[in-house]
Amino acid sequence: MVAALGIVLDPENNEMKVFGGVETKMEAKNVADDSKFHMDDILSLDISSDKKLVVTGQVGKSPSVHVWDSETMESKCMFKLKEGSRGVAALAISPCQRYVAAVDLHNDHHVIIHNIKKNKQLLTIEGSKDLIMNVAWSKKVDDLRFCTLGVKELKFWNPADATKRLFVKATFGSASKMTNFNCVTFDTEGYAYSAGANGQIALWDVNGVLEKSIKAHSNEVSSLVHESGKLITGGKDNKVCIFSAAGGECKLEKTIDLGEASFPRGIDYMNGKILVGLRSGSIYEITESDESKKLIMASHHEGEAWGLEIVPSGNALFTIGDDNKILEFDYENKRFVRKGIIA
């Protein structure tokens, strides 16, 4: 996602498709028509497990959320959060692809559930007085539980609970000391895993009770995902760890050193490939079997990219931004060449 565009990159041909990017009227963002595409900065994103459905949410007084097809780039559903929401802080598509869970930036950090096929809002409720950074659905079949995560708090929600007990707060007990949280994910058995600032992964049972903590990194755990029986984590020690994770047990299989002075902000796994998005703006594809790394994208990562120069004689394009980086690209062969740092 870049500004108001959703971008799908084909890494084999290094070509992209965009959701949005059409000609529009020159008018202020707060009055622009965002019924078909985003008209302001995208803040949050989630993608379905089959990688075919994407949901994106933007900033704004009454921000829009769009659900769209990653192959055709066509809109499937659009809904707006109520006025005063300020922006969409976090999003998640349910495994059944019927629902979207959203969290806004209002002082009450509302939790919203929307039915995609019926295009109907089912729930809007206060989530927390503190910022909610992440939301994730359980991947267990027919389990409609989801979790919201703040810096110091996890809540496990169950809209289908017949007892009308909508949520429970996570229970720590004596299994671990309190720490700050960064993100959360579920497995197909209903266990949840949260990433801790203490370098540990907390494992939560189906009742929201902490079962155990697992040491994963020497610094904060900054990202994690559970796919195909594996828990993949990224940390501020600039490493990726791969665990086998089933039945409430985790076993470390390997640790991969990224070899770059940056840490993973986002991570995904599919068919033996790990996709890692770094704080530096780089995206790498790592092959699990031989740990080989392929640079998919290099970009600026802080503030604005405000300078551009084209040198046709060398098929070169140079950019510069607030992150003090100069990047060179070969526009003929569609590849990144090198970077420099301004002291």
Q: Is a pLDDT exceeding 80 seen at residue 229?
A: yes
Mean pLDDT of 8-37: 84
Q: Work out the pLDDT band at 1, boundaries 50, 70, 90.
A: very low
User: Tell me, what's the pLDDT at 24?
Assistant: 75
Mean pLDDT of the chain: 93
What's the pTM value of the predicted model, to 2 decimals?
Answer: 0.93
Q: Is a pLDDT exceeding 90 seen at residue 29?
A: no
Q: Is a pLDDT exceeding 80 seen at residue 280?
A: yes
Specify whether the backbone of 133 is left (phi greater than 0), alpha (psi in -120 to 50) or beta. alpha
User: What gap in Å lies between CA 301 and CA 100, rounded to an integer?
Assistant: 28
User: Tell me, what's the pLDDT at 261?
Assistant: 76
- 196, 221 contact by CB (below 8 A): yes
- 226, 193 contact by CB (below 8 A): yes
Mean pLDDT of 126-143: 96
Percent of the chain with pLDDT over 90: 85
Which tokens belong to 59? 């900033």
DSSP 201-228: EEEE-TTSBEEEEEE--SS-EEEEEEET
Q: Is 172 exposed, middle or buried (0-12, 13-18, 19+ CB in 10 A)?
A: middle
- Angstrom CA distances, 162 to 16, 62, 141, 276, stand at 45, 32, 18, 40
User: Tell me, what's the pLDDT at 162?
Assistant: 60
Q: Work out the pLDDT band at 199, boundaries 50, 70, 90.
A: very high
- Secondary structure class of 236 (helix, strand, coil): coil
| Cα 233 to chain centroid, rounded | 13
The more confidently predicted of residues 310 and 159 is: 310
Handedness of CA 146, 90, 323, 297 (dihedral sign): positive
Q: Is a pLDDT exceeding 80 seen at residue 31?
A: no
- Angstrom CA distances, 172 to 65, 152, 243, stand at 34, 11, 23
